[in-house]
Amino acid sequence: MSDATLNAVHDAIAAHIADVNEDDPEFLTEWAFVAACAVSTNARATSYYYYDSDIPVHHAAGLLHHGINHLNNPDSSDD
């Protein structure tokens, strides 16, 4: 992913986080995501991509682990 695109992703996530709770502002510190893409030339194939905000692997693992926990229990606290 180009630096310009990574910066745009960062800016979009940061803007969303800032808008979520205007009464008690939060700011983005780190992010990580996984994307899945269908392969147009092979209907049975999927490509996966991982990107993060240039963070240590143990930070990324913690963020992804928290995301999995949130998927399993979406009503849980964000703390």
User: What's at 78, amino acid-wise?
Assistant: D
- Say yes or no to pLDDT of 79 above 60: no
Looking at residues 12-35, what average pLDDT do you find? 89
| Per-chain mean pLDDT for the chain | 90
Tokens representing 43 are 């209907």
31-45, 47-61, 65-79: segment of lowest average pLDDT: 65-79
The pLDDT-based confidence of 5 (bands split at 50, 70, 90) is very high
Q: Is residue 51 within 8 Å of 30, Cβ to Cβ?
A: no
5 burial (CB, 10 Å; 0-12 / 13-18 / 19+) is exposed
